[in-house]
C-alpha cells in the first residue's frame, strides 16, 4: 500500500501541511477581503479582521490534531511525554482564548449592526481611515482602485465614550418605557373589556409581541429570553385569573 501514499495528506507534526493551507485559503479568501454594496456609495471594499481570527482558530486546531496524531503509533495509543503534554496545555490555552476572542468579535458585530464605526473588526473603504489603511497596504492597488468612494472626514473607530454613555442612558430609558407600556397597556385593555375572550386574546398577542421584540433586539442568550417572556406571560396570566 506504500505506492498509494499521498505526501499532501501525510501528517506533519507541529506545522501546517501544504494541502491544509490550500484548503484553508480556499475557504477564507472571500471572507477576509471582499467587495460589498454600500448604503452610501455604489460599492465598498471590506477587510474582515474577524475572519482572520477564524483562520487562527483553524491553525491551532491543526496543531492540536497533530499532537493527537503523535499519541498514536501503528494504530496503538502510546500517549505523550511530558514535553508534548506541556505543549498541548499551551495550545489548549491559546485555543480557548481564541474562541473567547471570537465570541467578543461576534458580540461587537451584533451591537454594531449597520454602524461600521462601532465594529472594530470590520474595516470598510467607506471610512476615511480604513480607506487609507487599505491604500497604504496595497489592497486598493487594482485597476478599479480609484472607483471606491469614502467619507471626507476621518473618524476614530468605536465612537466617543461620552456619546456611548449618552446612548446607553437613552437606550435604557426607551427599554424601560416600552416595558412599562407592554405591561400596563394589556392590563388596562383587559380591565376596560372585562370578558374572557378579550383577556385571552390580549394576553396571547402581548406575549407574542414581547417575544418577537426580545428575539430581534436582545443580545442575551436564548435561556434568558425564554425566562423574560415566561415571566411576562406569568404576570398577565395572574392578572387574568385574579379578575375573572
Domain extent listing, the chain = 2-147, 161-242
Question: What pLDDT shows up at residue 14?
Answer: 45
90: pLDDT confidence band, cut at 50, 70 and 90?
very high
Rounded to whole angstroms, the Cα distance separating 149 from 61 reads 39
pLDDT band at 154 (very low <50, low <70, confident <90, very high): low
The 10s digit of each residue's pLDDT in 31-62 is 888 887 766 677 788 888 999 999 999 999 99
Whether residue 123 has pLDDT greater than 70: yes
The confidence score (pLDDT) of residue 46 equals 87
Q: What is the SS3 assignment for 72?
A: strand
If pLDDT is split at 50, 70 and 90, which confidence band does 8 have? very low
Summarize the confidence of residues 194-204 as an average pLDDT: 87
Per-residue pLDDT at 116 exceeds 70: no
Q: Which residues does 171 contact at the CB level (< 8 Å), separation at least 6?
A: none
pLDDT value of residue 153 = 54
pLDDT of residue 86: 87
Between 106 and 166, residue with greater pLDDT: 106
β 44-48/33-36 pair status: antiparallel
Q: Does pLDDT of 91 surpass 90?
A: yes
Q: Which of 179, 154, 177, 196 has its CA nearest to residue 235?
A: 179
List the helix and strand counts (H, then E) for the chain.
7, 5
Kindly report the average pLDDT of the chain as a whole number: 78
Q: Which of 42, 214, 36, 54 has the alpha carbon at shortest distance from 116?
A: 36
Quickly state the pLDDT bin for 98 (edges 50, 70, 90). Answer: very high
Amino acid at each position: 500500500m506504500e505506492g498509494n501514499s499521498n505526501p499532501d495528506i501525510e501528517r506533519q507534526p507541529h506545522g501546517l501541511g501544504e494541502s491544509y493551507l490550500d484548503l484553508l485559503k480556499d475557504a477564507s479568501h472571500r471572507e477576509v477581503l471582499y467587495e460589498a454594496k454600500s448604503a452610501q456609495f455604489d460599492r465598498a471594499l471590506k477587510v474582515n479582521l474577524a475572519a482572520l481570527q477564524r483562520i487562527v482558530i483553524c491553525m491551532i486546531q491543526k496543531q492540536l490534531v497533530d499532537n493527537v496524531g503523535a499519541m498514536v503509533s501503528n494504530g496503538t495509543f502510546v500517549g505523550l511525554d511530558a514535553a508534548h503534554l506541556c505543549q498541548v496545555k499551551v495550545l489548549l490555552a491559546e485555543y480557548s482564548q481564541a474562541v473567547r476572542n471570537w465570541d467578543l468579535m461576534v458580540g461587537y458585530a451584533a451591537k454594531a449592526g449597520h454602524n461600521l464605526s462601532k465594529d472594530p473588526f470590520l474595516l470598510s473603504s467607506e471610512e476615511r481611515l480604513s480607506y487609507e489603511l487599505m491604500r497604504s497596504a496595497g489592497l486598493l492597488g487594482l485597476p478599479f482602485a480609484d472607483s471606491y468612494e469614502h467619507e471626507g472626514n476621518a473618524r476614530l473607530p468605536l465612537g466617543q465614550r461620552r456619546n456611548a454613555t449618552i446612548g446607553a442612558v437613552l437606550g435604557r430609558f426607551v427599554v424601560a418605557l416600552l416595558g412599562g407600556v407592554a405591561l400596563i397597556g394589556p392590563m388596562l385593555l383587559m380591565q376596560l373589556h372585562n370578558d374572557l375572550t378579550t383577556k385571552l386574546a390580549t394576553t396571547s398577542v402581548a406575549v407574542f409581541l414581547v417575544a418577537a421584540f426580545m428575539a430581534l433586539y436582545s443580545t442575551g442568550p436564548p435561556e434568558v429570553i425564554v425566562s423574560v417572556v415566561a415571566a411576562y406571560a406569568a404576570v398577565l396570566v395572574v392578572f387574568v385569573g385574579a379578575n375573572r
